[in-house]
Amino acid sequence: MKFGVLTFGYDSFTSFADQLANHGFYEANLGDNAQSIAIRHIYRHFGVRDDQMIDINRDALPQYDGEPALLLMNGVFYQSAFPLPAAITPVFVGFHAPEHVIKEQQDFLRKHQPIGCRDEGTTVRMRNLGIEAFTTGCLTLALPRREQEPKNPKLLIVYGSGAGRLPPIVFRSIPENILSKAELIYHRFHASRFPFDLEMRREAELYEEALFARYRREATLVLTPLHHVAAPCMAFGIPTIICRDGNDVRFSFVEKLLPIYTPDKFDQINWNPPMIDVGVVRADLLRVVGNKLIAALHRATS
């Protein structure tokens, strides 16, 4: 029995293929790889060796024909991820899916209830269909706190595109003494092959690991519109500010821990925010994952 780590090939993302054809490259969201990093960390926490882990492409899940594996279903799942092959034993923690996917897969989800969901919106969608569900938050909140804080103040502004765009007007609100010590990081990965092959999936994850190391090493404050920057940075113990054009359901758990500022509230931003202690959230996540892994392993081997 192997322990599956979700990776992301984007095989069904036709918009990426179009961008590649038209422009010679496309950009993928590095936040997906944050989840792969978190899954590996959690497996190691429970004593799973690296040689017991196996990469499994979320975007080609139905075609998986490798060894039997448990798979932590942490992340966003589209219809292209279903049906799961018999070799996969899913472990639902931090799960998110669009409403139509949940409706189409409701019989399958009932077989594995209760479903641990990444956000309140997904939990509500499940319960509305009579599926037992509860909210866990994202597994990136279980990443370990950094061991040492940087001595010199630095704001890292980490942004994306589309829904992950940082509203430019926020720069008017940043105090000059903070902005003068700021650096910008574009949280996207440029790709020249479609879909991601194994080499590119690993390269993207390594790049995200390098960014995580930089956050831990340099940041005294992070400003971001991105879920998978805000959640890991909170776990690292970095004071974090979330600014977005608008809110959405994916942030409903994170919003319990941090305010989400939209342009009408930029004048209310606290530019000296406290570090959020996610110790209780981390402990709860690890407890839930541990229990679910034990149950799934028993189910898969009995």
For residue 248, pLDDT beyond 90: no
Q: Which strands make up the sheet holding 182-186, listed edge to edge?
A: 182-186, 155-159, 221-224, 240-243, 260-261
Does 274 sit behind a cis peptide bond, omega within 30 degrees of 0 on the bond before it?
no
Kindly write down the DSSP assignment for every residue of 48-108, as one continuous string.
--GGGEEEEEGGGGGG--SS-EEEE--EE--GGG-SPPTTEEEE-SSEE--HHHHHHTHHH
Q: What is the mean pLDDT of the chain?
A: 96
Map out the domains of the chain as residue ranges.
2-141+281-301, 143-268
What's the token pair of residue 66?
Answer: 């490798």
106 touches 2 (CB < 8 A)? no
Structure pTM?
Answer: 0.95
What's the token pair of residue 189?
Answer: 């990965």
Residues 51-65 have a mean pLDDT of: 97
Q: Is the dihedral of CA 201, 42, 227, 275 positive or negative?
A: negative
Q: How confident is the model at residue 107 (pLDDT cuts 50, 70, 90)?
A: very high
State the alpha helices, DSSP H only, in 113-226.
120-128, 176-179, 198-218
For residue 116, pLDDT beyond 90: yes
pLDDT of 269 reads 98
pLDDT of 302 reads 74
Residues 40-57 have a mean pLDDT of: 97
Query: Which helix (H) or strand (E) covers residue 223, if one does?
Result: strand 221-224
What's the token pair of residue 29?
Answer: 């969201």
pLDDT of 250 reads 87
184 touches 16 (CB < 8 A)? no
- Give the residue carrying structure tokens 């390269």: 203
What's the token pair of residue 298?
Answer: 């028993």
Q: How confident is the model at residue 301 (pLDDT cuts 50, 70, 90)?
A: confident
CA distance 220 to 243: 17
Residues 58-67 have a mean pLDDT of: 96
138 touches 73 (CB < 8 A)? no
243 contact partners, CB below 8 Å, separation of at least 6: 166, 167, 170, 223, 224, 225, 260, 261, 262, 266, 269
CA distance 22 to 141: 37
What are the backbone dihedrals phi and psi of residue 96, each rounded to the nearest 5 degrees, phi first? -140, 140
What's the token pair of residue 211?
Answer: 């960014």
Which tens digit of pLDDT belongs to each residue from 142-197?
A: 999 999 999 999 999 999 999 899 999 999 999 999 999 999 999 999 999 999 99
For residue 1, pLDDT beyond 80: yes
CB < 8 Å & 24+ apart, contacts of 42-49: 42/72, 42/139, 42/142, 42/286, 42/289, 43/3, 43/5, 45/142, 45/286, 46/289, 46/290, 46/293, 48/3
In whole angstroms, how far apart are CA 18 and each of 13, 25, 66, 195?
A: 9, 9, 30, 12
Q: Report the CATH fold assignment for 143-268.
A: Rossmann fold (3.40.50)
Which tens digit of pLDDT belongs to each residue from 222-246?
A: 999 999 999 999 999 999 999 999 9
CA distance 165 to 302: 48
